[in-house]
Homo-oligomer: A and B are copies of this chain.
Amino acid sequence: MPRAATTSDSFNAVAEPRRREILTYLAPQERPVGDIVSALRMEQPSVSKHLRVLLEVGLVDVRRDGRRMLYRTNAEAIRPLHQWTSTFERFWQHQLHRVKERAERMADPHKSKPASPPKEKS
């Protein structure tokens, strides 16, 4: 099976960088599509397509204003992502602690990073 659809959930929808930009832009206040196009320097059809995805997963809301469509980020829909990442908060705090302790204890650079996969490009 191929990759899950971008519209399957917020995690997939937000994986796209441009969509993240749009969400950030639309968070403070609602905006017509044209504003997004000019502000983020994207093609109009592209923006419409991204908005469709965001709308389908509930990350944005719309309302019509004459011939314009006003979109706004539905911040509520981002909470699940926030909550998921929060479950790791205690762990990265522990890690920071360990790293610090270790660095203070040893100056020996014997850090074996096993088989790092061939990283193309850069």
Contacts and interface: CB of A to CB of B under 8 A. Distances in A.
Number of copies of chain A assembled together: 2
Interface in A28-56: 28-29, 52, 55-56
B20 A4 contact: no
Contacts of A29: 121
A91 B27 contact: yes
Contact of A63 (B6, B14, B16, B114): B114
Contact of A15 (B12, B76, B82, B87): B12
Interface residues of A, number: 47
Given A62-B114, A95-B76, A27 B88 contact: yes
Interface in A62-109: 62-64, 69, 73-76, 78-79, 81-82, 84-89, 91-92, 94-96
A75 B92 contact: yes
Contacts of A24: 87
